[in-house]
Chains A and B, each alone.
Chain A
Amino acid sequence: METLLNDFSPGLFVVSTILLLALIALMVKFAWKPILTSLHEREEGIQSALDAAEKAKREMANLQADNQRLLQEARLERESMLKEARELKSKMIADAEAEAKTQANKMIAQAQEAITSEKKAAMAELKSHVAGLSIEIAEKVVRNELSNKDKQLELVESMLAEATLN
């Protein structure tokens, strides 16, 4: 301990204190402050660049997801449209079929009606024709029959007989 104290030089202590104080002050002013400030700025720059890159990445991902979603939606829409069209088509076909059927039925019914009425008319005409014809024939026959008096009397006689019977 005594040797240590003996070795301790107060003069050197004072000189080194002054020199170190000066060194610390100079180093802080001319070296550490600018160095640490620049390092700090650089680190912040790097950090913000990284953040920006991260943000861009996230935005990119969002965009991609959006695209995907839009694509999906478009696909769904197309599918539904197709389905609708298909349904419409079959409905149209069915409708047309049904309409055609009713139309046909109606036409058939009309035709049948027409046929029936034609038939009736034809029948009626035929009847009247036949009746006319019969009357003509009957007239001719009657004329023929009644050309002599005897025969006329005979007929009246028979007819009166029939009438009395009734």
Chain B
Amino acid sequence: MKIVQHSFKFLVLAVLMFLPSSISAFNAGGDGGQVSGKQQVEEYIVHHLKDSHDFNLFSYTDDSGERKHFGVALPVILWSSEGLVTFMSSEFHHDDNGQVIVEKDGLKFTKIHSKIYELEKGATAVSFDADHHATNGTKVLDFSITKSVVGILLIGLLMLFWFSRLAKQYKKKQIPTGFGRILEPLVLYVRDEIARPNIGEKHYRRFTGYLLTVFFFIWILNMAGLTPLGFNVTGQLAVTACLAIFTLIIYTISGNKDYWMHILWMPGVPIFVKPILAVIELVGAFIIKPFSLLVRLFANISAGHIVLMSLIAIMFTLKESLGVVGATSLSFVLSFFLLLIELLVAFLQAYIFTMLSALFIGMAVAEHDHEHDHDHEISSDVEDVRGDFI
């Protein structure tokens, strides 16, 4: 009965192309890892939002009550107190709560909430304080090929495959055929609607490659996050931070004299205001701009995943009050519509990230021919656009 129930749930998820690596794959519960209560649903969602060290597709409990996991173990690469340590994630046996301790090269490692800790010498088990923080272990630098890294690699290879094929098509014919016919207008869209108007006719060519990569990377990964594979790459702070810092580096390096002039010694204002403005502009350029990029993407995608998973969880949480059929259909309908919205959000966030990157780069390379009228125009445009998005 349980199998039937669980495979039914999985089927529903798979058919819907929905998120999670499988609702029943949750291991933190310890006994069987099934999700039924509100508490477990919450824990499961929190767990999903984090990166995972193995690529779990689904799990189920067989007749003998044993938990079976279906998925791929990924390599764990750690920089510990004594150098590089590698082993497969399967050695944790799907434990995420500090129960299993892996010994490698005389060092003991355990995984708590997707973070790997190195235990102190001599410790045999993890001891927790009141807030469930490990007291006798330290976090290690974790360069593992996690699920997010696998996602980045897969999508990267896919992009390379698609677009290099499109590039090859142009050698033989003027107009691409097949899938290239879908990709070409997207490339043109990014070039003509994002890069060209925001950066300007003179400089846009230099940055189009970066903007195109970022746009397709974010968009495809956002959409991959909506499939049952359960990627949450663009919901990882580390990834969005990395993207935002790239944009920061690009517009800082390519900023021209005017740009730095306007940051450090704003022309056209009284002299005693200049240092104050310089501080504000510096904070704006180096903290606010990248943060607005990284937090917006991270928060939108995380929020989408949380809401979508919560709606799927209606299946379990309202099972008693609505019955199996009622709860499942309610969950189906609600999450279906949310999925449609999330598809839009996936595109929108990729667009906004690329658009704002282009805008910031455009501000850095803009040439002020007419000194101040022009400058005002640009900054008011920027304010308009930012007002629209924030």
Contacts and interface: CB of A to CB of B under 8 A. Distances in A.
B160 interface: yes
Contacts, number: 121
A19 interface: yes
B163 A27 contact: yes
Interface in B146-170: 146, 148-149, 152-153, 156, 159-160, 163-164, 166-168, 170
B163 A12 contact: no
Contacts of A27: 159-160, 163, 209, 212-213
Contacts of A20: 152, 217, 242-243, 246
Question: At the interface, is chain A mostly helix, strand, loop or mixed?
Answer: helix
B135 to A, nearest CB: 15
Interface in A1-26: 4, 6-17, 19-20, 22-24, 26
Interface residues of A, number: 32
A9 B114 CA distance: 10
B50 interface: yes
B237 interface: yes
B210 interface: yes
Contacts of A111: none
B125 interface: no
A11 B144 contact: yes
B141 interface: yes
Nearest to B188: A39
B64 interface: no
B256 to A, nearest CB: 22
A23 B242 CA distance: 13
A30 B164 contact: yes
Contacts of A16: 148-149, 152, 236, 238-239, 242
Interface of A: 4, 6-17, 19-20, 22-24, 26-28, 30-36, 38-39, 42, 45
19 contacts: A7-B237, A8-B237, A8-B241, A9-B142, A13-B242, A15-B143, A15-B145, A16-B236, A20-B152, A22-B156, A23-B213, A26-B156, A28-B213, A32-B187, A32-B209, A32-B213, A34-B167, A42-B170, A42-B174
